[in-house]
Amino acid sequence: MSFLNKLRLLVTAGQGITGSNIKVDVLDDPIAMFGDWYGQAQDSGIVLPESLTLATATKSGMPSARVVLLKSFDDTGFTFFTNYNSRKGNELKDNPQAAMVFHWNILQRQVRIEGRIERVSEQESLAYFHSRVRGSQIGAWASYQSSEIPDREMLAAKVKELEAKYQGKEIPLPPFWGGFKLVPTYIELWQGRADRLHDRYYFTQTDNGWQRTRLSP
């Protein structure tokens, strides 16, 4: 971590405990509020502020969770990328609903998002795939994510084979890899405050837009 990031962390530590930074009393758009918080998390020096816990479930309701990275968001939802044949990919295919949690501890903030899952277009997946470094593109082809392998040597051999195959060529988008978008129906914003008297608001999607409700901490 750079000295500048360490300084930012020191300056922002505990922000929100002694004074509320939540603006939902005057802002009724939770995605815009998320964007404001996300920008502050990026500026704070937090390492990987885009990291989030993604929870999925099987068709029978057995849950699982893991950390992934947010790649983009807008009024239509929150996008991440993965192998469609991974455990989460298969669960999202069988049960296209999910939940996300962002936790920015140093800012004492948490955002919970729930909703339905859609695949992004192939064009969007292709554009993001080619924005990645070449090694990550090769890695997407080499890894049968969530499948058992005998050893790391098998993975290394597959990478070597693919590097030779695509030497001097553009690496195509794997047909089993791409983006998912969580289209939110529920968003909760949590701001830590002193004495555990936190500020909590949740928003639900209605025909007339977002409806805001305050929760007891």
Identified catalytic residue from 196, 200, 212, 214: 196
Cβ 138 vs Cβ 101: under 8 Å? no
Q: 81 has which bridge partners?
A: 179
Helix axes 122-131, 134-142, angle to 10 degrees: 120
| C-beta separation of 66 from 82 below 8 A | no
Assess whether 119 carries a catalytic annotation.
Answer: no
Task: Specify burial of residue 204 (Cβ count, 10 A radius: 0-12, 13-18, 19+).
Answer: middle
19 CB-side CA count, 13 A: 1
Give me the active site residues, please. Answer: 196
